[in-house]
Amino acid sequence: MPRIRRVCLQRALAAVPPPPLGSKVLADVLYLTGCFHLRQPTIQARKKAVRYLRRCVEIAEHLPGAASLSVSARLNLTVSFNRLDEREEALREAQQALIALQRLPPDSIDASERAVFEGIARYNLMCSLEATGQHEGALEQAREATRARVSLPDGHTFASQLGSAEEDLKKAHQPTNVHQKLHTARTITSEASTWSRNLPDIGSPRHSPRFQQQKRFTINGAGDCKAKDLALRGGRALGALPTVEMRSELEKLGAPLPDDKGVTELAKKFVNWIEDYKYKYMLPPSHTWANLFAILDEDHSGFVSYDEMYKCVRSTLKVKEKALPANMLKALWVVLDADHSNSITVDEMSKFFRRADDVLQERTKALRRRLTGFTTKGAGEDKDKELALLNRALEAQPTAEMRAELAKQGVPLPDEQGLTELSKKIFHWIEDWKYREYKDPSHNWVNLFAVLDEDKSGYVSYDELAKCMRSTLKVKEKALPTTALKALWVVLDADNSNSITVDEMSKFFRRADDVLQERTKALRRQQSGFTTKGAGEDNDKELARLGRRALLGDASLAMEAGSPRFSSRSPRVPPSPPKIPKPPVKSPRAAKAPRASDPSSMLPELSSHRGRATAGGTPREDATRAKQVAHSAIVNQTPAPTEPPKTQAAPDLATTETAGEQSAGEPSAASETQG
């Protein structure tokens, strides 16, 4: 069965058209193929799963409406790396899956599906953090997974697993006996004190501290000499020298220590390297020095050793020897570790990072705009510099400075009538954007405010207002100049708080109350009714006319329902069985032809469209009914007998009275014949 399924998936991959025509189908097939290989027990199959799922993520990230598929692929990538014992990659993929989930729009997936995704992402992140020795972070993620389980029903597949995440993590840290404390997840740490507490398990050598230390660094392709050197040094990947010995070694080599200006330049380089790394892996920018320190402090012990600093620079940040030589890194370490404690605390590292305060602020703002806006990937270094200059130029001004600038330029502020017109314009722009994006119309002012409040903070800044107008609503400079937008902002932010709350914005939107009600009703009718897209203006008018007649209860629509235009939609009624004609009754009205409106007549009513009957049957049924009509006409045209038959039934009282009234008024045809 697995072989048949693998062959089917391979044929599906071969049949998918090339991108961009078959991008969505290709991403789905890649996801299914990766999940299939992930279920296989071999290591080779899991490596194939990693390749297929990574390709799926690369395609799904750029497809509209495929964000949930990208998150699912990242979560399965986390499981794949955990099964391959690649804990660092598993932790990175789990973090990226959680970030991608948080960036999803609220209306892209259901609330229950979002809770499932968040719970699974938190649970995988908990396992990855626990496997890398970050127990406090794992406990926090376990609590978040338990909170996500609250919004799931009791019978859900992941409800029990997410609900017991914190209990499972606590049980994993309970000691089995006095001399041994093992965790269910394989921990990776660099603290010697932690290694001494974790005794090796005889039955499972993969849990030993030496094995965990050796597997952190790879020597693939390094040769037998490097392998022997690593074994002789007791499994230590890096033999760190004490700071005192490192200082004397640099003095022997004649390497100078960096002065105050050199330390500042190195601090700026470190900040740029860390921010580039975070931008590359879609991580949030560092707003504080603690976040910068967390990149260096791998084991979250509260201090940084030289091993951690070296590994972060070479392995994590990918800084080459040419950009930062080893002697310069050692010299920086000697300067920072002034007390020769062989470690750097948070306070010592924060003093170093504070030298690059201006660089950190600029990079944080630029990265935030770049993550939420456009990118210049592949445009070159000049475009990156130009974008940085534009970001600094577009930095939001305080409202007081903006007011003074407009007054200096002589730009008038909008009055009451101008505010009302701007309110109606902005409302129309928002509703047009919602109609284009197939979103529900704004029934209240809170929904209008939510479009402007991008970060859901409860207030709107000038940056959010300008970005919403230019990027989201696509309002051109000609329709709303920048000076007019600033003048509107100055009027709305009357208290100079540099932000607009919900109440202040609702007062502005209430000026377009009549437009809101009209647009809401029109959009509701348009979305709930029929569409004539591509049918032309005449059909639109005709559909509107028929809709008005249907709402007024026009009975003539029932007559038109049998016309050829509506005959395809009318139900096919089977023909009635043929009636046996009764003998004619002697009556003054017996010789007259039956009227079309008489219910006893066999003749169907004729429609004005091409003279066809409104019965709506098949051609065979129409021919049968035509024969019946001809037979009825022949019977009705036979001469009436002079004497009524003996078996004649008693005449109806109503018929007799009607005949008497008619005979009193005018002579009948029978009396004229007898005379």
SS3 letters for 176-241?
A: CCCCCCCCCCCCCCCCHHHHHHCCCCCCCHHHCHHHHHHCCCCCCCCCHHHHHHHHHCCCCCCCCC
Asked if residue 101 and residue 47 are part of one domain, the reply reads yes
Look at residue 328 and tell me if it is in a domain.
yes
Is 453 labeled as ligand-binding? yes
Is residue 648 assigned to a domain?
no
Structural domains in the chain (count): 3
Residues 162 and 279 in one domain: no
Q: Which residue among 526, 542, 560 closes a domain?
A: 526
Chain-centroid distance of CA 123 in Å reads 21
Boundary of a domain, candidates 526, 547, 566 = 526
Prediction pTM value: 0.28
Please indicate if the annotation marks 464 as binding a ligand.
yes
Q: How far is residue 489 from each of residues 394, 395, 461, 641, measured CA to CA in Å?
A: 15, 15, 9, 99
Same domain, 19 and 67: yes
Is 277 annotated in a binding site? The answer is no
Of 168, 201, 197, the C-alpha closest to 185 is 168
Question: Which regions in the chain score pLDDT beneath 50?
Answer: 1, 21, 175-219, 227-239, 374-376, 385, 388-394, 557-573, 590-616, 638-675
110 is in an annotated binding site: no
Element (H, E) at 11: helix 2-15
495 among annotated binding-site residues: yes
Residue 432 annotated as binding?
no
Q: Are 282 and 97 contacting, i.e. CB atoms less than 8 angstroms apart?
A: no
Measured distance CA(160)–CA(153) in Å, rounded: 10
Secondary structure class of 592 (helix, strand, coil)? coil
Q: Which pLDDT belongs to residue 55?
A: 82
- The torsion defined by the Cα of 269, 271, 273 and 276, in degrees rounded to 10, comes to -140
**pLDDT at residue number 455:** 72
Cα–Cα–Cα angle for 576, 582, 586, rounded to 5 degrees: 140
What CATH number has the domain bearing residue 289?
1.10.238
Task: Indicate whether 377 and 279 sit together in one domain.
Answer: yes
Same domain, 334 and 386: yes
pLDDT at 324 (0 to 100): 92
Residues 385 and 409 in one domain: no
The answer to whether 361 and 275 have CB atoms below 8 angstroms apart is no
pLDDT value for 155: 59
Whole-angstrom CA distances from 414 to 488, 515, 605 are 7, 20, 68
Q: So what's the pLDDT on residue 194? A: 35
Positive or negative, the CA dihedral 237, 241, 243, 247 is negative
Residues 150 and 289 both lie in one domain: no
Cα separation, 151 vs 164, whole angstroms: 15
Q: What is residue 630's predicted lDDT score, i.e. its pLDDT?
A: 59
194-253 tens-digit pLDDT: 333 333 343 444 444 444 444 444 445 555 555 444 444 443 334 467 888 889 889 988
Q: What pLDDT, on the 0 to 100 scale, is given for residue 165?
A: 59
Boundaries of domain holding 331: 243-391
Angle between helices 260-280 and 357-372 (to 10 degrees): 10
Same domain, 316 and 338: yes
